[in-house]
Amino acid sequence: MQSKLDAAIESLTAQFAARFRETLRPIRMVGKEAEFPVVTRDGRAADVAALLRALCDEHGFVPHYDDPETHQVLIAAERAGMYVAIEVGRGTVEITTRPADDLIELQKKFNDTLALVTRVAASRQMFLLGFGIQPRTPATRALMTPRAHYHALYNAIGAPIG
């Protein structure tokens, strides 16, 4: 005969087991996005659009434009899971990796992309800063990447930056 304690344990065990799914969801993946100020040798903001053009022209990256019809503003370059983009400020580059199964794979993808971008930038006398803000170029509207939604945000905020 089953004791009250055994019955309670069985009941709790059944309740606990019922909380587990019959099938597992897909394993979650992890991606990374990092932004870096890009400067010239004298510490002023570099033109990240020139860096993106070099990635497209010399390294097989596919260009992405703010307006796919006019191709006036180059905003990103992509190749095999490497995505490199210009940010609000013309002197800031964003590096994004495709999601990876684990942190080791993610770090390799990111390091490979960062190494290529750093090498191409250096060949054009541009340098990625590991941290901080754009050190020498004043924050003016001219430093802003000419994308429609950035200008809309600027106009909505109305913040005078120069």
Q: How confident is the model at residue 73 (pLDDT cuts 50, 70, 90)?
A: confident
Neighbours of 117 (CB within 10 A): 25
Q: Are 93 and 46 in contact, with CB atoms under 8 Å apart? A: no
To the nearest whole number, what is the mean pLDDT of the chain?
A: 87
In a domain, 14, yes or no: no
Distance between first and last Cα of the chain = 85
In a domain, 26, yes or no: no
Q: How confident is the model at residue 69 (pLDDT cuts 50, 70, 90)?
A: confident
Using alpha carbons, select from 122, 95, 120, 121 the residue that is nearest to residue 109. Answer: 95
Indicate if the pLDDT at residue 83 is higher than 90: yes
Sequence-distant (6+) residues with CB within 8 A of 138 are 162
Indicate if the pLDDT at residue 41 is higher than 90: yes
Strand, helix or coil for residue 135: coil
Residue 100: φ, ψ to 5°: -115, 165
Sequence-distant (6+) residues with CB within 8 A of 91 are 37, 38, 39, 44, 45, 46, 47, 48, 134, 137, 143
In a domain, 162, yes or no: no
* Structural domain for 40, as ranges: 33-157
For position 93, what pLDDT does the model report? Answer: 96
pLDDT digits 0-9 by tens, 94-141: 999 999 989 999 999 999 999 999 999 999 999 999 877 766 777 777
- Mean pLDDT check: name the lowest of 5-9, 10-14, 152-156: 152-156
Report the alpha-carbon distance of residue 128 to residue 138 in Å, rounded. Answer: 18
**Domain total in the chain:** 1
pTM: 0.74
In a domain, 91, yes or no: yes
- Cβ burial of 90 (10 Å; 0-12, 13-18, 19+) is buried
In a domain, 50, yes or no: yes
In a domain, 86, yes or no: yes
Report the alpha-carbon distance of residue 114 to residue 157 in Å, rounded. Answer: 33
For position 134, what pLDDT does the model report? Answer: 67
In a domain, 28, yes or no: no
Q: How confident is the model at residue 142 (pLDDT cuts 50, 70, 90)?
A: confident
Tokens matching residue 132: 């901080």
- The segment with the largest mean pLDDT, out of 21-25, 59-63, 127-131, is 59-63
In a domain, 21, yes or no: no
Indicate if the pLDDT at residue 161 is higher than 70: no
